[in-house]
Amino acid sequence: ILVMTVVATPAALPPPDKLPSVAEFPDVLAMRDGTKITSKKDWEEKRRPELKELFQHYMYGRYPHLTEPVKVVVTEKVLFEDTQALGGAGTLREVEVSFSESQWPKIYLLIATPNGKVPAACFVGPNFGGNHLLTSHEKVRIPTAWVPANYPGVEKGTNKATAAGRGKQASTWPLQQIVEKGYAVATFYCGDIQPDRPDVREGMRATLPVYKGDAPLDETATVMWWAWGCHRAVDFLVTDKSIDAKRLAVVGHSRLGKTALLAGAFDDRIAVVIPHQSGCGGAGPSRSKNEKAETVKRITTAFPHWFCGHFRAFGSDTTKIPFDQHALVAICAPRPVLLTNAEDDQWANPSGQFDVLTAAAPAYKLYGDTKPVADKMPEQGKLSDDRLGYFIRAGKHSMTPDDWKAFTQFADKWLK
């Protein structure tokens, strides 16, 4: 179905400590050599590719399998299909997606589509603990890959998911609510692509070479693997006749929100990008003014595998990072991006995320949107549905049916 042939050119970029210090967000329209971008053409041909290279080199690691072009062919097998699921409102099925490289792990896409309303716009994204947590439907597969110990129904000591977890996190991806709004939704367990733990050559990381000493400082890191996994889910969705290939929105929560933003930036087939409470390493700025927010030093210490080795090196001095997260949003231009947050989740830096949106706006203006973002952060509970959209609700770090109301409301504007 998909053949990837792009070859990345390894750039001669200085090590992190040799980069110039810039206190504020670097100008998204200024090339590294100082040239100012003023047209859409130069943005697309010069600055956008430069930024994609910088994000790979210094933060997320290389986009997988582009340097030695691997032919990725995706095939699918339907594991079950129930046309009268979700209170009769939708069809639920699970599709096994496998790759031409037979040793690569498979992903299992749980897909809900609204009956009588297809082809439908579709939300797609990874989930934290397995599809079975999102519905009590008995046919849904239980993951066999490593799962984090703190998820419902996980066997003590073995990190194995069990049927006891069925439906225990159904409110995080409220399938019925979504199909009742006329949307399809597709999700997969992130750990099938890459289990969320460091230093183990498992999942897709097992396809990388093993080094005697340290791995290269730009080696593909876990957030990049998860984003790559989203793209492979998209490979399938764009071929499926119940899905409208032109109307896909990527969604993810927290570490998977970081993933959603990266996935949107690196795949133009994704029409709308919704990183939820993504925080540091996602839509939260590295140069943060919010003292309650997570820092680069902290995240690269606590979760060393999410980002590449170069990013860790910035830890104590984020002024040397040659971009900030506004540039990752800008790569998505002109596609709509919605940043969603919660008041009690200062760790994810809600106000810093609004600054990121504002700083991304110049790239969107190149596409003719003269006012892509609100003048100030909208008040709690009120969706700002500008092209660079924003939403903050009361409450804590979680993904809830109320958040999904904001997601579908935003989609009603941009995907209808």
CB nearer ligand GCU, residue 273 or residue 333:
273
Total residues at interface with ligand GCU (CB under 6 A): 7
Catalytic residue set? 254, 397
Are the CB atoms for 23 and 287 separated by under 8 Å?
yes
Apex CA 133: angle with CA 244 and CA 252, to 5°? 50
**Residue at token pair 């939820």:** 276
Q: Position 114: which residue type?
A: P
Q: Residue 119 is which amino acid?
A: P
Phi-psi region of 105 (alpha: psi -120 to 50; beta: other; left: phi over 0): beta
Q: How far is the CB of 240 from ligand GCU (least distance, A)?
A: 29
Instruction: Give least dist CB 202 to ligand GCU, A.
Output: 20
Shortest Cβ 169–ligand GCU spacing (Å) = 13
Report how far Cα 263 is from the mean position of its chain's Cα atoms.
5
Supply 300's token pair.
């690269």
> What is the per-residue binding string for ligand GCU in 43-82, x denoting contact by CB under 6 A?
----------------------------------------
Nearer to ligand GCU, 244 or 402 (CB): 402
> Minimum distance from CB of 229 to ligand GCU (Å)?
16
Beta bridge partners of 110: 94, 187
Neighbouring-strand partners of residue 186? 111, 124
Q: Which of 57, 137, 255, 335 binds ligand GCU (CB under 6 A)?
A: 255
- Smaller CB distance to ligand GCU: residue 90 or 284? 284
The secondary structure of residue 414, as a DSSP letter, is H
Please give the residues from 161 up to 190 whose contact with ligand GCU meets the rule CB under 6 A: none
293-312 residues near ligand GCU, rule: CB under 6 A:
294, 299
Nearer to ligand GCU, 178 or 293 (CB): 293
CB of 24 to ligand GCU, least distance (A): 23
Q: Tokens 């069809």 map to which residue?
A: 91
279 binds ligand GCU (CB under 6 A): yes
Q: Is residue 339 involved in binding ligand GCU (CB under 6 A)?
A: no
Our finding on whether 372 is near ligand GCU (CB under 6 A) is no
Residues forming a β-bridge with 188: 126
**In whole angstroms, how close is the CB of 293 to ligand GCU at the nearest point?**
10
Would you say 104 or 314 has its CB closer to ligand GCU? Answer: 314
The answer to whether 280 contacts ligand GCU (rule: CB under 6 A) is yes
Angle, CA of 296, 298 and 303, to the nearest 5°? 95
User: Which residues make Cβ contacts (< 8 Å) with residue 127, sequence separation at least 6?
Assistant: 133, 134, 172, 173, 187, 188, 189, 190, 256
Answer yes or no whether residue 240 interacts with ligand GCU by CB under 6 A. Answer: no
> Which residue's Cβ lies closest to ligand GCU?
254
SS3 235: helix
Nearest approach in angstroms of CB 276 to ligand GCU is 10
Can you point out the beta strands (E) in 156-299? 160-161, 184-189, 243-253, 272-276
Q: What burial class does residue 84 get, using C-beta atoms within 10 Å of its C-beta: 0-12 exposed, 13-18 middle, 19+ buried?
A: exposed
254 forms part of the interface with ligand GCU (CB under 6 A): yes
The alpha-helical segments, DSSP class H, found in 110-252 are 175-180, 190-193, 222-237
Nearer to ligand GCU, 53 or 294 (CB): 294
- Residue placing its CB nearer to ligand GCU in the complex, 255 or 387: 255
> For residue 36, what are the β-bridge partners?
30
262 is a site residue for ligand GCU (CB under 6 A) = no
Instruction: Using CB under 6 A, list all residues that contact ligand GCU.
Output: 254-255, 279-280, 294, 299, 347
